[in-house]
Amino acid sequence: MTETEIKKGLAGVVVDYTAVSKVNPETNSLLYRGYPVQELAATQPFEAVAYLLWHGELPTEAQLAELRAEERRHRSLAENVKAAIDLLPLDSHPMDEVRTAVSVIGASDVTGGGSVLDASGSPEENLARSIRLYAALPAIVAYGQRRRRALDVVEPRDDLDYSANFLWMTFGEEPEEIVVDAFNRSMILYAEHSFNASTFTARVITSTLSDLYSAVTGAIGALKGPLHGGANEAVLHIMSEIGSADNVVPWLDRALAEKRKIMGFGHRVYKKGDSRVPTMKAALDTLIEHYGRQDVAELYAKLESEFVSRKGIYPNLDYPSGPAYNLIGFDTLTFTPLFIASRVTGWTAHIMEQAASNALIRPLSAYNGVDERHIAGYVPDAATLAAAARPAEQS
Ligand SMILES: CC(C)(COP(=O)(O)OP(=O)(O)OC[C@H]1O[C@@H](n2cnc3c(N)ncnc32)[C@H](O)[C@@H]1OP(=O)(O)O)[C@@H](O)C(=O)NCCC(=O)NCCS
C-alpha cells in the first residue's frame, strides 16, 4: 500500500450507509431523517426529536405522550448510580463521572441474560435501553454539577417536560420559559451528526456484537476529547482567558503565533460554516438579552470576525453553545456532559441501525515499523514453520 492510499483520520472515506441523518457541506444543511435540523429546533420538543431519530418519523400526539410517560418513569437518579458517583473524587472530570454512571447502568441491566452472546440485545430491548439511558442522563449530569457545589439531589418533577425538568434538577428552581426554549434548541442541535468520531466509535463497538451500554460508554470516551465534544468547554476557557472584546486582537496575535487551535472554530466536514450555528446563535442572543450580557455579545462577535477574516475558518456549534450554557448557569465542566445527554439519542439510533445490518468494522493498516527480526537462539517448531509458510493475514 502506498502512502497516497492511506486516508489519515479516515478523512473523506465513506464507511457505510445511514438513514439517520444527512450532512451536506455543499448546501450547508443537516437533515435528521429528512427534516432540516433548524426546522426541528424551531418547532419540536427534544422528546419528539429523540422519537424521530429512533423511529424514523415524528411521533403522533399519542406516541409522544407514551414516550414522555416512559421517560418520566426513568428520570430519578438510581441509588446504585448515585453511590458509584459518590465514590469518585470531587475533582474527577464530569465526563468520567457520566461514563462511569452509564457503565453502572449497563452492568445493572441483566436483560442480556449475563452471557456475552446475548448481550447485543433484540431491537425491542435496545430501544427500551435507549429510552432508559436518555431518561436517566439528565439526573446524572444534574447531580454531577450539584455534587461539586455541595448541593443535594433534586427529585424530578412529573409536571415538567424533558428540558424544563433537566434545568429543574440542575438548579432546583422553576426554569423560565425563554431559558427552557434555548436549552431545548441546543439539545436538538447536538442530537445527531452522522459518522462523527463518537458515533463511529459506538458503531465500531456495536459491530463486534457488544452491548448498547458498552457502545455508549466508548462513545463518551471519544466525545471527551477537545477536538470533538470537549470543544464547547474549551470555548469558555478561551473566552475567560480573553476577558473582553478589547483584548481579542492581542490575544489572537499571540495564540496564532503560538500555533494554538482556536476552539469552537473549524469542522472536519463543514468548511464554509456549520449549519447549526445560526440557530444556536439566535438562542444565545435571546439569552444575552434576557440576562443583559452585552459584553458576551461583543466578545463573541469580535473573536468571530477577527478569526474568520484572518483564517477563513468558521465557528462550529460549540462556539455559540459554550457561552449559552454558561449564561444558563451550567459549570464549564458540565458542558460536554450536556452534549452526551443530547447525543445519546443519535448514538443509540446508530447503534440500532448498525445492529440491524451488521458487518464487523475492521480496517487495515500499512506497517511502517522495523523490518522482521528474531529472538537470538529461538528455534521455531514444525507447526510454527508451516504456519509461517502460509500467506499472512491480519487478524
Ligand atoms: C474540528 C477540527 C479538528 C477539524 O479539523 P480537520 O478537518 O482535521 O482540519 P485540520 O485540523 O487539518 O485543519 C486544517 C488547517 O486549518 C487549521 N485550523 C483548523 N481549525 C483551526 C482552529 N480552530 N484554530 C486554528 N487553526 C485551525 C489547522 O491548523 C490546519 O492548518 P495547516 O494546514 O496550516 O496545518 C479542527 O478545525 C479543530 O481542531 N478545531 C478546534 C476544535 C473544535 O472546535 N472542535 C469541535 C468540532 S465540532
Tell me the per-residue pLDDT of 310-321, one tens digit each, with 9 for 90 and over.
999 999 999 999
Q: Which of 318, 350, 371, 381 is catalytic?
A: 318
268 lines ligand 1 (CB under 6 A): yes
Residue 32, strand partner residues: 21, 35
Three-state secondary structure call for residue 35: strand
Which among 267, 270, 317 is the best mutation to test ligand 1's pocket, defined by most ligand atoms within 8 Å of the CB? 267
Query: Residue 392: its pLDDT value, please?
Result: 60
Residues in the chain: 395
CA 233, chain centre distance (Å): 13
Q: Angle, nearest 10°, between helix axes 94-108 and 335-356?
A: 40
Task: Please provide residue 329's backbone torsions phi and psi, each rounded to the nearest 5 degrees.
Answer: 120, 5
Calculate how far, in angstroms, residue 266's C-alpha sits from the geometric centre of ligand 1. Answer: 5
Calculate how far, in angstroms, residue 191's C-alpha sits from the geometric centre of ligand 1. Answer: 22
Calculate how far, in angstroms, residue 343's C-alpha sits from the geometric centre of ligand 1. Answer: 22
| Beta-sheet pairing, 29-32 with 21-24 | antiparallel
Q: What is the pLDDT of residues 181-236, one digit of tens each?
A: 999 999 999 999 999 999 999 999 999 999 999 999 999 999 999 888 888 889 99
d(CA 78, CA 149): 20
Calculate how far, in angstroms, residue 283's C-alpha sits from the geometric centre of ligand 1. Answer: 25
264 lines ligand 1 (CB under 6 A): yes
DSSP H or E stretch at residue 21: strand 21-24
153 lines ligand 1 (CB under 6 A): no
Q: Which residue type does 225 have? A: G
Sheet holding 21-24, edge to edge: 21-24, 29-32, 35-36
Residue 93 is among the residues annotated as catalytic for this protein: no
Query: Residue 361: its pLDDT value, please?
Result: 95
- Write the CB contacts of 89 (distance below 8 Å, at least 6 apart in sequence): none
316 lines ligand 1 (CB under 6 A): yes
Q: Which residue type does 224 have? A: K
Query: Residue 114: its pLDDT value, please?
Result: 58
255 lines ligand 1 (CB under 6 A): no
Which among 270, 313, 316, 335 is the best mutation to test ligand 1's pocket, defined by most ligand atoms within 8 Å of the CB? 313
Calculate how far, in angstroms, residue 263's C-alpha sits from the geometric centre of ligand 1. Answer: 9
313 lines ligand 1 (CB under 6 A): yes
265 lines ligand 1 (CB under 6 A): yes
Helical ranges in the chain per DSSP H: 37-43, 46-55, 61-73, 79-87, 94-108, 123-148, 162-171, 177-190, 197-207, 212-224, 231-242, 248-257, 277-291, 294-311, 318-328, 335-356, 382-389
Task: Please provide residue 73's backbone torsions phi and psi, each rounded to the nearest 5 degrees.
Answer: -65, -25
Residue 24, strand partner residues: 29
Q: How many CB atoms neighbour CB 292 within 10 A?
A: 8
d(CA 219, CA 235): 21
Are 251 and 241 contacting, i.e. CB atoms less than 8 angstroms apart?
yes
Which domains are present in the chain? 6-229+330-356 (1.10.580.10), 232-326 (1.10.230.10)
**Which residues in the chain show pLDDT less than 50?**
395
Q: Which of 74, 267, 274, 350 is catalytic?
A: 267
Calculate how far, in angstroms, residue 268's C-alpha sits from the geometric centre of ligand 1. Answer: 8
230 lines ligand 1 (CB under 6 A): no
Query: Residue 158: its pLDDT value, please?
Result: 96
Query: Residue 112: its pLDDT value, please?
Result: 63
